[in-house]
């Protein structure tokens, strides 16, 4: 018997359920990406994007777009992360995604991100492991941000953005020491701020 998921009782009641997740909060460079997805009731193959290969994520991102009743992306720039803090910037990206969705769900499930909205929000720890709707959102956000970082790698060579996606790998930190920060870097994050002070 399959495990119960948070959507089950709401789908049975005919409610529209959206799932929301973010990618990029811990990166040293690049934006925070948030995706929101509304899935139809059913048995879906989506799971936490961190457990999937890049090829599987690409395939499931296309599957999400094909079957979803609605989906949207929202972004917060590295400058907004610096100005507002990463949690507030993530909320900003989430509100942008929800506005672009163009419909109000009856319930929003997030990966432990409280939001102030005119409908119920279920902020579950590890929601991307428990909810297929949140998992689908995590896949869309990850694929969209990875594609962006790949494109930005060509504009800012030497940092390895295509590979590290802006996270603080050894290669990235060495490039920061050698080349200094780019406009994509979050100047208030300690590894970047340290380089600025050298």
**Which tens digit of pLDDT belongs to each residue from 52-108?**
999 999 999 999 999 999 999 999 999 999 999 999 999 999 999 999 999 999 999
Q: Would you state the pLDDT for residue 3?
A: 61
CA dihedral 9, 13, 14, 17 (to 10 degrees): -40
Percent of the chain with pLDDT over 90: 93
- How confident is the model over 132-144, as pLDDT tens digits? 999 999 999 999 9
The position carrying tokens 């290969």 is: 53
The full set of domains in the chain, from first to last, is 8-155 (3.30.420.10)
Query: Does the predicted TM-score (pTM) go above 0.85?
Result: yes
Q: Would you state the pLDDT for residue 4?
A: 82
Q: Cβ(160)–Cβ(153) under 8 Å?
A: yes
Q: How many CB atoms lie within 10 A of CB 77?
A: 17
- Gap between the Cα atoms of 67 and 61, Å rounded: 10
Percent of the chain with pLDDT over 70: 97
- Gap between the Cα atoms of 21 and 2, Å rounded: 23
- Angle of the 54-67 helix axis to the 132-155 helix axis, nearest 10: 120
Give the side-chain half-sphere CA count within 13 A for 73.
18
30 Rama sector, left if φ>0, alpha if ψ -120 to 50, beta otherwise: left
């Amino acid at each position: 018997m399959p495990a119960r998921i948070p959507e089950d009782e709401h789908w049975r009641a005919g409610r529209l359920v959206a799932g929301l997740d973010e990618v990029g909060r811990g990166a040293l460079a690049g934006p925070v990406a948030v995706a929101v997805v509304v899935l139809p009731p059913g048995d879906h193959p989506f799971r936490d994007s961190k457990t999937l290969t890049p090829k599987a994520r690409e395939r499931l991102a296309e599957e999400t777009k094909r079957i979803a009743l609605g989906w949207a992306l929202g972004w917060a720039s590295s400058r907004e992360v610096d100005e507002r803090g990463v949690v507030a910037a993530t909320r900003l990206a989430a509100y942008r995604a929800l506005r672009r969705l163009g419909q109000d769900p009856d319930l929003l499930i997030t990966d432990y991100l409280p939001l102030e909205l005119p409908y119920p929000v279920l902020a579950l720890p590890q929601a991307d492991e428990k909810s297929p709707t949140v998992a689908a959102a995590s896949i869309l956000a990850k694929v969209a941000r990875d594609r962006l970082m790949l494109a930005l790698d060509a504009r800012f060579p030497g940092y390895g953005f295509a590979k590290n996606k802006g996270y603080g790998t050894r290669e990235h930190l060495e490039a920061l020491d050698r080349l200094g920060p780019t406009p994509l870097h979050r100047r208030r994050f300690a590894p970047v701020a340290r380089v600025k002070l050298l």
